[in-house]
Chain A
Amino acid sequence: MRYKRLVLILAGMLVVFVALNGVIWKSWTQDLITDAHFDGGDLTRMGYIPGSKMPRHNRVDLPRRHISLKEYAGQPVDMVTIGDSFSQGGGGGYNRYYQDYIATRYDMTVLNLDHYKDVDFITTISLFLNNGFLDKVRPRYVLIEASERGIKELAHPVDFSRVEPLETVRGYRLYPHASHPPDVSFINNGNFKFLFNALWFRFTDHGLFGDVRVADLKGDFFSVTKGDKLLYLPYKPKFGAAEVGALNENMNMLADRLSAHGIRLIYMPYVDKYTLYRNWLVRPTYPESQFFELLRPLAKRYQYIDTKELLREELAKGEKDIFYADDTHSSWKASEKIFSVVRFP
């Protein structure tokens, strides 16, 4: 009889287990873990935090749109852009490409280049210059966008004399920006992690699973249920004045080379979410990155877009949703602000 009782208890527990998974899945985790219903939202997914979810769909209503390298058919181009996930519409949702704001506002044809794995943006532009591609495209501007986190890649010595044929460069492996969450069934370990993280976040600034941190803001900066919570990924800035100086020198050298071909270089480092909101945190845990402060005073022969300064002005005005509450990327509001201020001479 003992075995019978244990088997029946186990069977009962399995039934409860299935039911519980079903409830958690339908109520919370399906929208957190998968992109079945909405696009975007890495941080709520990684931290299993439902209160900051910003449900959205990819949608563009700007009249002029940028083109990708794949779509390029030899037409005249005004600006070439290259960058990390911010240049690939990483945040998702409404008007997710900043390039579309440039195209619309300045009536430009904007061509976005691919991000290749293991090749930094300065080298990529240099390669496209040396193999004659930029001479063929004849843009007036080249804009390099790079997240503050990845600036070390741009501070390495660059071989500006390197030449690779266009076909070779276009054959490089692409950086895997966008991958889709795997298909998971309604019974999955995410449901379990969701429960534990919900418990853990009550006592700490991080969950038991994942790297996402949650900090209290001094006000509601996001139009979600928990609008006064900042979700972010911590990082230790591993650069100093020397690296920022090296980066600036690389940019200057590239700017010189481009200007010899009549092209103006624009560099837009993208401010990190934590760095941007740090002044409005109740208890800042990590030191503020000084990247922008180190770069600002340096002599530049390129146009520099200070996203930190521009976007902080918006936060100071109490503007909500400059970054998505549930993501590491900024929203259309940031793009609109930046390119309503920046001028391209």
Chain B
Amino acid sequence: MLFNSLVFIFAFLPLVLVGYFLLLHWRLTVAARSWLLFASLVFYSWWDVRYLPLILGSILFNYTIGGVLVEYDDLKRKLVSKKAIFVVGVTANILLLCWFKYLDFFIGNVNALFGTGLPLLKIVLPLGISFFTITQIAFLVDAYEGLVEERNLLNYALFVTFFPHLLAGPILHHKEMMPQFDHLRNKVINWKNLYFGLALFFIGLFKKVIIADQFAAWATPGFDTAPSLTFFEAWLASLSYTLQLYFDFSGYSDMAVGIGWMFNIRLPINFNSPYKATGIIDFWKRWHMTLTEFVTTYLYAPILRSFGRITFGVSLAAIFLAMLISGIWHGAGWTFIIWGGLHGAALVINHIWRKRKLSMPRFLAWLITFNFVNASFVFFRAKSLEGAMKVFAGMAGVNGVTMHRSLKKVHLLERLGVNFSGSWLDGINGNDRTYIYALLALVFAVTCRNSMQAVEGLKPDWKHFAVLVTIAFWGLLNISQVSEFLYFQF
């Protein structure tokens, strides 16, 4: 089930919300949590019920391993070391992820390297597996390091499956979330939280449905179907994807955090105007923030420790390695590995730049950062290296520069070798709106307050309420869109 589906908004969410607070009202705390767990499993199974045993099995396994780690010191008979149990737990999670996510990638590379004809298994990737796996790896690490005290299967299962964060984060820490369910004041409806949660949810829906989906309509043909792209087509395709990804993912995160608020649960925020960043370090402090925290805590720090002694050079190597792994986590393909490597290299350069106390004008820093992020997302989005190269070739002007024929009267452009055509953006199914929207969305992302700041500034007055209602209805109406074009074309 998706947040931006009508069945979620008008049936699932109200039903779960009302049921949860009614049970709490009757002081049935365990029943209320069970209700939330049941609802979360329904939410997950909506896509394909066959994967329900997978997530349940994963929960049971990790809960058991976590339990053994928590109680290890109290055990009288210690057959294996605590570290061995921990390694088994983490390895099992990684293997599960590898099986579903990376096996075909591995087979493909073996075939390419050794000329073998091993058949691809074409395993369907279960929804949210990357997220619920790393959430549980983090839990095992916390348990291993003695940071977990609670031992309750219902609570643990709810922590993993709580539907607002189940499919795409934010990535949670056990200790961040579960105490909130116990807090007495969180057991009654908080109308302010509910109002702010609804506001954040509808802002997120608007970002996803109105903005991101529009840019997807230009990015998709540019990356997937156009055989080649001219200069402006390529730049607009890459910009469209950069904007689509931000508004889509941050919109989804807004909806997740908003739903959390409705249940009086504060989920961590995931985005803080990342396209305002003036450096790659700054970017990663603003982009997918919970992942950055996870990478720092559970990848960078252990890698650093594994090197033995900590020096600036070693920390740079750890950063690079951590980002490379992060790239692989994002997707099974060389394009993701290159994307992670590029960001790792950029972070290394940025750290050296900082250490040497070098500076540059703020606008230039922003320009370089944004263009780097935009270019790196070409690898992130392209289905293959050839696909990425196609877009880069266009961006470099290899396929020429074509502009709208109305500019033909500007003779300077013609002398510069510019071509003119009425269908200058056909490769991305674009039109005049494409560059106008891209420009507006970029200015909006760079200069305006983000959704979290907007909601914090929300006042319970009619003016703000009217804006909220407009955004809500606009988003809702456009979940299912109708276009006025000829289905039966001449």
A150 near B10 (CB under 8 angstroms)?
no
B480 near A185 (CB under 8 angstroms)?
yes
A328 near B486 (CB under 8 angstroms)?
yes
Nearest to B488 among chain A residues (CB) is A90
Nearest to B462 among chain A residues (CB) is A6
B473 near A17 (CB under 8 angstroms)?
yes
Contacts of B484 in A (CB 8 A): 45-47, 193, 209-212
A10 near B488 (CB under 8 angstroms)?
no
Nearest to A187 among chain B residues (CB) is B6
B472 to chain A, nearest CB (A): 7
Contacts of B477 in A (CB 8 A): 187-189, 191-192
Q: How large is the interface on B (under 10, 10 to 19, 20 to 34, 35 or more residues)?
A: 20 to 34
B420 to chain A, nearest CB (A): 17
Nearest to B481 among chain A residues (CB) is A189
A177 near B489 (CB under 8 angstroms)?
yes
One of A17, A40, A187 near B479 (C-beta < 8 A): A187
Q: Is B191 an interface residue (CB 8 A)?
A: yes
**Which residues between 234 and 290 of chain A lie within 8 Å of chain B, taking CB atoms?**
none
Nearest to A90 among chain B residues (CB) is B488
Q: Is A85 an interface residue (CB 8 A)?
A: yes
Question: Could you name 22 residue pairs across A and B whose Cβ atoms are closer than 8 Å?
Answer: A3-B191, A3-B194, A3-B460, A9-B465, A10-B468, A14-B472, A17-B476, A46-B486, A90-B490, A149-B490, A178-B488, A179-B487, A181-B487, A184-B481, A185-B6, A185-B479, A187-B477, A188-B482, A189-B481, A189-B482, A192-B477, A328-B490
**Which residues between 190 and 245 of chain A lie within 8 Å of chain B, taking CB atoms?**
190-193, 209-212
Q: Is A84 an interface residue (CB 8 A)?
A: yes
B378 to chain A, nearest CB (A): 27
B482 near A42 (CB under 8 angstroms)?
no
Nearest to B189 among chain A residues (CB) is A4
B18 to chain A, nearest CB (A): 11
One of A84, A187, A211, A212 near B490 (C-beta < 8 A): A84
B263 to chain A, nearest CB (A): 14
B478 near A177 (CB under 8 angstroms)?
no
Q: Is A33 an interface residue (CB 8 A)?
A: yes
B162 to chain A, nearest CB (A): 22
Q: Is B485 an interface residue (CB 8 A)?
A: yes
A184 near B482 (CB under 8 angstroms)?
yes
Per-position 1/0 for A1-26, Cβ under 8 A of B: 11110110110011001100000000
What are the 3 closest A-B residue pairs judged by CB atoms, nearest first?
A210-B484, A190-B482, A188-B480
Q: What is the CA–CA distance of A185 and B191 in the complex, to the nearest angstrom?
A: 31
**Which residues between 441 and 490 of chain B lie within 8 Å of chain A, taking CB atoms?**
460, 465, 468-469, 472-473, 476-482, 484-490
B489 near A6 (CB under 8 angstroms)?
no
Q: Given contact pairs A47-B484, A188-B477, A211-B484, enumerate 4 new A-B contacts (beta carbons under 8 Å).
A: A6-B465, A9-B465, A189-B481, A212-B484
B490 near A6 (CB under 8 angstroms)?
no
One of A7, A47, A185 near B195 (C-beta < 8 A): A7
Contacts of B479 in A (CB 8 A): 185, 187-188
Contacts of A47 in B (CB 8 A): 484
B191 near A7 (CB under 8 angstroms)?
yes
- Among A6, A18, A47, A210: residue with most chain B CB under 10 A: A6
Per-position 1/0 for B239-264, Cβ under 8 A of A: 00000000000000000000000000
Q: Is A176 an interface residue (CB 8 A)?
A: yes
A82 to chain B, nearest CB (A): 14
Given the known A-B contacts A3-B460, A187-B476, are A85 and B489 also in contact in the complex, defined by CB atoms under 8 Å? yes
Q: What is the CA–CA distance of A40 and B488 in the complex, to the nearest angstrom?
A: 8
One of B198, B473, B482, B488 near A177 (C-beta < 8 A): B488
Q: What is the CA–CA distance of A226 and B489 in the complex, to the nearest angstrom?
A: 25
A150 near B490 (CB under 8 angstroms)?
yes
Q: Is A123 an interface residue (CB 8 A)?
A: no
Contacts of B472 in A (CB 8 A): 10, 14
Contacts of B476 in A (CB 8 A): 17, 187
B360 to chain A, nearest CB (A): 45
One of A84, A149, A180 near B487 (C-beta < 8 A): A180
Contacts of A179 in B (CB 8 A): 487-489
Q: What is the CA–CA distance of A179 and B486 in the complex, to the nearest angstrom?
A: 9
B478 to chain A, nearest CB (A): 5
Contacts of A329 in B (CB 8 A): 488
B489 near A193 (CB under 8 angstroms)?
no
Q: What is the CA–CA distance of A14 and B195 in the complex, to the nearest angstrom?
A: 14
A3 near B192 (CB under 8 angstroms)?
yes
Q: What is the CA–CA distance of A187 and B10 in the complex, to the nearest angstrom?
A: 11
A187 near B480 (CB under 8 angstroms)?
yes
A176 near B489 (CB under 8 angstroms)?
yes
A42 near B488 (CB under 8 angstroms)?
yes
Q: Is A131 an interface residue (CB 8 A)?
A: no
Q: What is the CA–CA distance of A210 and B477 in the complex, to the nearest angstrom?
A: 17
A62 to chain B, nearest CB (A): 21
Nearest to B478 among chain A residues (CB) is A189
Nearest to B194 among chain A residues (CB) is A7
B6 near A42 (CB under 8 angstroms)?
no
B330 to chain A, nearest CB (A): 30
Q: What is the CA–CA distance of A33 and B469 in the complex, to the nearest angstrom?
A: 26
B480 to chain A, nearest CB (A): 4
Q: What is the CA–CA distance of A84 and B195 in the complex, to the nearest angstrom?
A: 55
Nearest to A179 among chain B residues (CB) is B487
- Among B194, B482, B486, B487: residue with most chain A CB under 10 A: B482
B480 near A42 (CB under 8 angstroms)?
no
Q: What is the CA–CA distance of A2 and B473 in the complex, to the nearest angstrom?
A: 21
Q: What is the CA–CA distance of A68 and B408 in the complex, to the nearest angstrom?
A: 44
Contacts of A42 in B (CB 8 A): 486-488
Given the known A-B contacts A177-B488, A189-B482, A190-B482, are A14 and B10 also in contact in the complex, defined by CB atoms under 8 Å? yes
A24 to chain B, nearest CB (A): 11
Nearest to B262 among chain A residues (CB) is A7
Q: Is A104 an interface residue (CB 8 A)?
A: no
Q: Is A130 an interface residue (CB 8 A)?
A: no
Nearest to B9 among chain A residues (CB) is A14
Contacts of A124 in B (CB 8 A): none
Per-position 1/0 for A102-146, Cβ under 8 A of B: 000000000000000000000000000000000000000000000
**Which residues between 19 and 42 of chain A lie within 8 Å of chain B, taking CB atoms?**
33, 40, 42
A184 near B489 (CB under 8 angstroms)?
no
**Which residues between 185 and 221 of chain B lie within 8 Å of chain A, taking CB atoms?**
191-192, 194-195, 198
Nearest to A92 among chain B residues (CB) is B488
Contacts of B487 in A (CB 8 A): 42, 45, 178-181
**Which residues between 58 and 92 of chain A lie within 8 Å of chain B, taking CB atoms?**
84-85, 90, 92
Nearest to A194 among chain B residues (CB) is B482
B335 to chain A, nearest CB (A): 28
Q: What is the CA–CA distance of A106 and B266 in the complex, to the nearest angstrom?
A: 77
Q: What is the CA–CA distance of A189 and B483 in the complex, to the nearest angstrom?
A: 9
A28 to chain B, nearest CB (A): 13
Nearest to B487 among chain A residues (CB) is A179
Q: What is the CA–CA distance of A212 and B482 in the complex, to the nearest angstrom?
A: 15
Contacts of A177 in B (CB 8 A): 488-489
B191 near A4 (CB under 8 angstroms)?
yes
B386 to chain A, nearest CB (A): 21
B371 to chain A, nearest CB (A): 35
Q: What is the CA–CA distance of A193 and B473 in the complex, to the nearest angstrom?
A: 13
